[in-house]
Amino acid sequence: MYFVSPTKGPMSFNAMFEDICSFMADDPTAEYKLIVGSDSQARDQVCFVTAVVIHRLGKGGRYYYTREHVTKMPSLKQRIFYEAHLSLDVASRLAAEISKNGHSDLNVEIHLDVGRNGQTKSMIRELVQEIVGSGFMARIKPDAYGASQVADKHSK
């Protein structure tokens, strides 16, 4: 699995994590959020994009994304749960690296592409429970910009 930085191009997971750490080292007194979110678009295949955002609160941020194509899925529910699984997988890898590298105060948020309006509202409770039960913070629309804006931008 490789990630793409819009400014630095393709990079491995480890290179992405090193870039995140470097970004935080540039301003160690700032407050940061580490966000993972996924989105998908269905055409002939389903394009899944998982975004990793390091947000320096009030001072910008950086993001990285990875893209995966799979054959069509039979239902929206299956697609949304697969998006959550992709985010959870990347968040778990990030959390493991964070614990090894002295950034244990940095919590990972998972942004879910579900909201109180539309077809996904019936999935909110189950998805949020899965994410929180895995030890991460969960956000839904309209607060889930990692999924609904960053990942969405690269899934089209």
Question: What mean pLDDT is reported for the chain?
Answer: 94
List, for residues 131-140, the tens digit of each pLDDT value: 999 999 999 9
Residue 7's domain is classified under what CATH number? 3.30.420
Predicted confidence (pLDDT) at residue 106 exceeds the cutoff of 90: no
The pLDDT of residue 104: 72
Contact yes or no for 151/50 (Cβ under 8 A): yes
Give the structural domain span for 23: 2-155
What are all long-range contacts of 116-124, with beta carbons under 8 Å and residues at least 24 apart?
116/140, 116/141, 119/76, 120/76, 120/80, 123/77, 123/80, 123/81
Contact yes or no for 108/36 (Cβ under 8 A): yes
The pLDDT of residue 44: 87
pTM of the entire predicted model: 0.95
122-132: buried (b, 16+ CB within 10 Å) or exposed (e) per residue? ebbeebbebbe
Predicted confidence (pLDDT) at residue 105 exceeds the cutoff of 80: no
Domain count, the chain: 1
The pLDDT of residue 68: 95
Reported confidence tier of residue 101, pLDDT bands at 50, 70, 90 = confident
